[in-house]
Amino acid sequence: MADDATFDLTLERIALIRRMAVAWNPAGCGAPILNPQAPYGSLDRAEDISNVTGDDEGTDEEHRALGEALAVFVANAALKPGRYAYHNPLAKLPPEEMLDLFRDEETGASPEHVTFDVSAEHLALLRHLAVRWDAENDVPAIDTARPYGGSGDLYAEMRRHLGSDAASDHLAELHREMQPALQNLLRHADIAPGPFARRVG
């Protein structure tokens, strides 16, 4: 049982995390965000949640708890570097609602399937993503001002977490790849339910 210092990551919350549709928020430094129109893959958020929890009444409360659940998940879930594939949950949305880095600007379409190589660098950065609640969009999101926490100097924080002096061009590419990297983490990483220390900051 969770107490004030811990968060209860249940099987139902893990199942909802697996269904999350990761989009890209272009504000600030740019950062991943759950698609505001379809955070769990369809345009009916309440039904998506109740289909997992079996509770039609508590969907708003459970949705709000998924912000902290996401923070716990990215800090504790385990994934090995490698090539992963996922069905793109944004592909079926209207183009103006996709917020997808893979969207073709000419056709407006996004690929239905995405294959992506998750590197050790991606994984090191994912663990430090600063998950926040985006009140305007009413979804969990990564802080666009300080995506990896700390000082707010994007590349300095990335270098600190990577333990390297990587070039800015390489860091810029890594940062933009956080959308597919995070989507793969949510789909494929291992984690067991239970109480976890709440993330601070």
pLDDT confidence of 152, banded at 50, 70, 90? confident
Q: For residue 77, is it within any domain?
A: yes
pLDDT for 201 equals 54
Q: For residue 192, is it within any domain?
A: no
On whether the CB atoms of residues 113 and 93 are closer than 8 A, the answer is no
Does residue 199 carry a pLDDT above 80? no
170 versus 95: the higher-pLDDT residue is 170
Give the count of domains, the chain: 1
Q: For residue 110, is it within any domain?
A: yes
pLDDT for 100 equals 84
Q: For residue 196, is it within any domain?
A: no
Task: Give the domain range for residue 129.
Answer: 6-186
Q: For residue 138, is it within any domain?
A: yes
**pLDDT digit string, tens, across residues 167-190:** 999 999 999 999 999 999 999 999
Does residue 158 carry a pLDDT above 80? yes
pLDDT for 96 equals 66
Q: For residue 70, is it within any domain?
A: yes
Does residue 109 carry a pLDDT above 90? no
**Alpha-carbon span 133 to 68, nearest angstrom:** 9
Compute the average pLDDT of residues 138-153. Answer: 93
Q: For residue 200, is it within any domain?
A: no
What radius of gyration, in Å, describes the C-alpha atoms of the chain?
A: 16
pLDDT for 97 equals 66
pLDDT for 102 equals 83
pLDDT for 99 equals 79
pLDDT for 108 equals 79
pLDDT for 179 equals 96
Does residue 12 carry a pLDDT above 70? yes
**Alpha-carbon span 97 to 85, nearest angstrom:** 22
Which residues, other chains included, contact 80 with Cβ-Cβ below 8 Å and sequence gap of 6+?
none
Q: For residue 72, is it within any domain?
A: yes
